[in-house]
């Protein structure tokens, strides 16, 4: 799953190439153009609020964009009278509504933790991810079934200029939403939003398939319509499987090992930390909760231990923007343990074994 590690003073300038990036930058949509990291904020709660607000704003903009796209397609249908175009428009409208579960989940995440839900309501976001994954799978089955039926029972396309216009509108609208949601989803660490962005991309591919079918009909090769449909349907199956693995892994509390290595590295660099003994983490929605045990010299005073824990916590919050709460345990290193490590240092294999079981 994607994650970012912005530096405390990072300042990001994104350069998006192509028509989608140009449109996104011109409209100042989230994830496009000139952006600023939130790493300068010292409080995890502030970052959580900002990320949640960014997520909600992104979904609302996605719904607005898809609504405009659908309205344009409806207008084209009314001008052309193409029944096939109407079916595709209704399908796109239904898929746009799949963002609503994610929007509800993001609003739920605003609620404070309770005695019953001690980690808050962020897990609703992962449940919304399941709905989105099922929707992507349904789209794949729908496209494959329609393409096979068109292959067995060929039907000539009519109103070609209108259908081509509608397919271009559908592709640009869906791809704009997909790019926006994928970028923001990776930035805030939301597997569900990434899945929703992948869903929008599948709809864009569907519209692109219609455009290829129109070109094939113009060229006297109507067989391209079902063939391209089957190819894109299989591609969507792959997207569905990728999204299912990401959402399923999140539900199983999986965390990218690279992210854990990143956290361990920054914690070990804090002055006073002798070693990182253990680290565990899990996601709740798009927020990361962690438990870290660090080894220190045995002679460290209690007040010094508290100060060290505070420094480690601050460094980790600066290194991992999605980090919410990190519980830090200080484990003093006894002299006997230090002697054992020194003895093991003569054999690299023994030293590695000792560190793994220290």
**How does pLDDT run across 145-178, given as a tens digit for each residue?**
888 888 888 777 777 888 888 888 889 999 999 9
pTM over 0.75: no
Quote the pLDDT of residue 38. 43
Share the mean pLDDT of the chain.
79
Name the residue among 315, 312, 314, 293 with its Cα closest to residue 304: 312
Determine the distance from the C-alpha atom of residue 244 to the mean position of all C-alpha atoms in its chain, rounded to a whole number.
Answer: 12
Return the percentage of the chain with pLDDT > 70, whole number: 77
Tell me the Cα Rg of the chain. 25
pLDDT exceeds cutoff 60 at 142: yes
Q: How far is residue 174's CA from residue 143's CA, in Å, rounded to a whole number? A: 16
The stretch 23-44 carries a mean pLDDT of 50
Q: How far is residue 67's CA from residue 330's CA, in Å, rounded to a whole number? A: 53
The stretch 261-277 carries a mean pLDDT of 92
CATH superfamily of this structure's domain 257-356: Cation efflux protein, cytoplasmic domain (3.30.70.1350)
Max mean pLDDT among 76-90, 214-228, 234-248 falls in 234-248
Between 116 and 7, the higher pLDDT residue: 116
Q: What angle do CA 265, 271, 274 make, to 5 degrees?
A: 70
The stretch 175-193 carries a mean pLDDT of 92
Q: What is the strand order of the sheet 275-284 is part of?
A: 275-284, 287-297, 323-333
Quote the pLDDT of residue 205. 83
Q: How far is residue 98's CA from residue 131's CA, in Å, rounded to a whole number? A: 8
pLDDT exceeds cutoff 60 at 42: no
Per domain, the residue ranges of the chain are 18-251, 257-356
Name the residue among 142, 131, 140 with its Cα closest to residue 244: 131
Structure tokens given for 140: 């794949």
- Is residue 76 a contact partner of residue 169, using CB atoms and an 8 Å limit? yes
User: Going by CATH, does the domain composed of 18-251 fall within 3.40.50.300?
Assistant: no
- At 352, is the pLDDT very low, low, confident or very high (cuts 50, 70, 90)? low
């Amino acid at each position: 799953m994607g994650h970012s590690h912005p530096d405390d003073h990072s300042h990001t300038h994104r350069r998006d190439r192509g028509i989608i990036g140009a449109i996104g930058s011109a409209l100042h949509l989230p994830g496009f153009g000139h952006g600023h990291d939130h790493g300068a904020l010292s409080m995890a709660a502030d970052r959580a609020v900002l990320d949640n607000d960014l997520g909600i704003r992104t979904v609302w903009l996605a719904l607005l964009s898809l609504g405009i796209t659908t309205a344009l397609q409806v207008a084209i249908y009314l001008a052309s009278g193409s029944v096939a175009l109407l079916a595709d428009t209704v399908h796109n409208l239904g898929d746009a509504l799949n963002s609503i579960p994610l929007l509800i989940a993001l609003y739920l995440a605003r609620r404070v933790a309770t005695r019953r839900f001690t980690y808050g309501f962020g897990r609703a976001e992962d449940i919304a991810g399941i709905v989105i994954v099922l929707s992507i799978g349904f789209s794949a089955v729908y496209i494959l079934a329609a393409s096979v039926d068109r292959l067995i029972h060929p039907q000539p396309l009519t109103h070609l200029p209108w259908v081509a216009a509608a397919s271009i509108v559908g592709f640009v609208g869906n791809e704009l939403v997909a790019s926006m949601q994928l970028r923001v989803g990776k930035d805030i660490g939301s597997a569900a939003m990434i899945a929703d962005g992948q869903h929008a991309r599948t709809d864009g591919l569907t519209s692109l398939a219609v455009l290829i079918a129109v070109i094939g009909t113009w060229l006297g090769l109507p067989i391209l319509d079902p063939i391209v449909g089957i190819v894109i349907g299989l591609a969507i199956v792959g997207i569905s499987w990728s999204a299912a693995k990401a959402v399923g892994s999140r539900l199983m509390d999986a965390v990218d090992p690279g992210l854990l290595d990143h956290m361990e590295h920054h914690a070990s660099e804090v002055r006073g930390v002798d070693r990182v003994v253990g680290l565990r983490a899990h996601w709740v929605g798009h927020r990361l909760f962690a438990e870290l045990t660090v080894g220190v010299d045995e002679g460290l005073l209690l007040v010094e231990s508290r100060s060290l824990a505070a420094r480690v916590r601050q460094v980790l919050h600066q290194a991992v923007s999605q980090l919410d709460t990190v519980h830090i345990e200080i484990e003093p290193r006894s002299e006997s343990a230090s002697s054992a490590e020194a003895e093991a240092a003569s054999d690299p294999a023994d030293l590695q074994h000792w560190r793994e079981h220290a």
